[in-house]
Amino acid sequence: MRIALAQIHATGDPEENLRTVEAYSRRAVERGARLVVFPEATSQAFGTGRLDTHAQDYDGPFAAGVNALARELGAVIVAGMFRPADRVDNGANVIQRVWNTALIADGGTPRGYDKIHTYDAFDTKESETVRPGNTPVLVSVDTVTVGLATCFDLRFPSLFQNLARRGAEVIVVPASWADGPGKLHQWRTLTAARALDTGAFVAASGMARPGGEDNAGQASGPTGIGHSTLVNPWGERLAEAGYGEELLVVDVETEQVARARRTLPIL
């Protein structure tokens, strides 16, 4: 299967971001991709204002537009978006929380995976504005079983092993990984570790880093570090992007999954 990782700079405007999804998806499909993976927060980038301001459900224009595009192109598109979830009273005010969703668009009924592990770390508390999900999700792309995870989920191997035990051969990870001291090393280590934990391919699509390489290594909050990557079941990096916008298109031989799991039967 040919997978495309679309490393983009999302903005605070869902309409503009939808146009970016269209442009990258068309380029990816022209190069033969069957699955196109965009970063977390593709519908609205972190750091561009309150997430509930532009939150839309599956019947909103962003998800509907991506789904119509997937139908036209005959491909499966995964892209991060925010959907209205619930209202919580934190004692000072009432906050409208959202779901941090990895949209699955294949031309049928739009659906998705709601991020289970919210980014409550490094002086950030995502759960104040994002409601955690609780259900692992798999989808079939042609004959390949694909699992979904999002960004901070990478630090929780149990989710990945759950997906692998349920048949995932490829696990896609939309992300908007925070930059800062040691964060690129952690990203590379964790993407490889989750492949080794599962005997699966890990296809992690990160948001391009604001400011590019000039700001590399500086703390940025969850606005992206780039370095989208495709890792094989042995933890080997088949492709990796840099800090800026980029489209990676990579072939994966899913037969390697069965071989890896026979050789190293850890599941």
Q: And the tokens for 41?
A: 């927060």
Instruction: Supply the DSSP string of 34-102, one letter for each residue.
Output: SEEE--TT-SS-TTSS-GGGS---TTSHHHHHHHHHHHHHT-EEEEEEEEEEEEEE-SS-EEEEEEEEE
Bridge partners, 171 (sequence order): 147, 202
125 is catalytic: no
How far apart, in whole angstroms, are the C-alpha atoms of residue 197 and residue 65?
35
Please pick, among 16, 22, 30, 115, the residue that the annotation labels catalytic.
115
Which residue is associated with the tokens 């630090």?
A: 155
213 is catalytic: no
Please pick, among 22, 30, 40, 246, the residue that the annotation labels catalytic.
40
Which residue is associated with the tokens 């609205």?
A: 44
183 is catalytic: no
Please pick, among 151, 169, 183, 246, the residue that the annotation labels catalytic.
151
Bridge partners, 175 (sequence order): 206
Active site residues: 40, 115, 151
